């Protein structure tokens, strides 16, 4: 089992930055691809970014590439995934979810474990 807890969300003006964190626990965390998804009101949950267990490969949605950066730290006692979000736009407003997968991918069905989600609001 993997437990995921997001933090770092909040309200920011357009053009600003936020960094989301996802604290992960569970013995198999280090072997899993980690992803960030988001869901805006009235819309389906969508892929934002993913990173493989070794950090060798990353993948981004076209809408965030060049503005967002995903990274991770695999340590013995503290395992954390980050999403650095720069040049934020009002359309980035959503609930952001951290997720873990043994397969990787960009679909919600590719991911086995999910955090509870955290609100990010970008004002214009």
Q: What does the pLDDT read at residue 54?
A: 79
**Beta-ladder partners of 34:** 51, 100
CA distance 108 to 117: 14
DSSP string, the chain: --EEEEE--EEEETT--EEEEEEEESTTGGGSEEEEEEE-TTS--EEEEEE-TTS--EEE-TTTBTTEEEEEEE-SS-EEEEEEE-S--GGG-EEEEEEEESS--SSGGG--EE---EEEEEE-
CA distance 18 to 8: 7
Q: What does the pLDDT read at residue 69?
A: 98
- Bridge pairing between strands 118-123 and 10-13: parallel
Q: What does the pLDDT read at residue 83?
A: 98
What is the mean pLDDT of each successive set of 10 residues along the chain, which is 124 residues long? 91 98 77 91 97 87 98 81 97 97 92 96 97
Q: What does the pLDDT read at residue 115?
A: 96
């Amino acid at each position: 089992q993997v437990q995921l807890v997001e933090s770092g969300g909040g309200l920011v003006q357009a053009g600003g930055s936020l960094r989301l964190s996802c604290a992960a626990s569970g013995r198999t965390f280090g072997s899993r691809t980690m992803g960030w998804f988001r869901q805006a009101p009235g819309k389906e949950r969508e892929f934002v970014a993913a990173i493989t267990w070794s950090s060798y490969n990353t993948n981004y949605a076209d809408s965030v590439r060049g503005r967002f950066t995903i990274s991770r730290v695999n340590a013995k006692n503290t395992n954390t995934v980050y999403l650095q979000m720069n040049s934020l736009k009002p359309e980035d407003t959503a609930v952001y979810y951290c997720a873990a997968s043994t397969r990787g991918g960009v679909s919600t069905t590719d991911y086995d474990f999910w955090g509870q989600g955290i609100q990010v609001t970008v004002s214009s």
